Amino acid sequence: MKVLSIKQPWAELILQGKKKIELRKWNIGFRGTFLIHSSKIPDEKSMKKFGFEKLPCGAIIGQADLVNVKHYKNKGEYQKDKNLHLADGYFGNYGFVLKNPKRISPIPARGNLNFWDFKIK
């Protein structure tokens, strides 16, 4: 199954249904269900900003459906979706539109760049 590594607290915010768009600097043709891996090293500044002290890291913690990719062509389009991607600054002009987030029991795993494959046992 496809997996995407995402730093905490962003992975947690997706699973809570608060973050509905994941920002990237690259596009992808993939659509469908994928696993959410929380990266080993969290984004400490954002952890504090969103009120988290400790979240699971270095594990697959959930899944979601990638249903569309938005291409932000200007700052105005990017800012219009701020309540969906929750980013203060620029993190990329491609927005992976997510639906149906679901938490699963953590599965320890090493992350990787881009989408990567993982076999659930």
Could you give all domains of the chain from N- to C-terminal order, each with its CATH number? 2-110 (2.30.130.30)
pLDDT, tens digit (0-9, with 9 covering 90-100), for 77-120: 999 999 999 998 778 899 999 999 999 999 999 999 999 999 87
What is the tens place of the pLDDT at every residue in 4-44?
999 999 999 999 999 999 999 999 999 999 999 999 999 99
Supply the pLDDT for residue 88.
80
**What DSSP line would sit under the chain, residue for residue?**
-EEEEE-TTHHHHHHTTS--EEEESS-----EEEEEEE-SS--HHHHHHTT-S----SEEEEEEEEEEEEE--SHHHHHHTHHHH--SS---SEEEEEEEEEEEEEEE----SSEEE----
* Per-residue confidence (pLDDT) for residue 92, from 0 to 100: 87
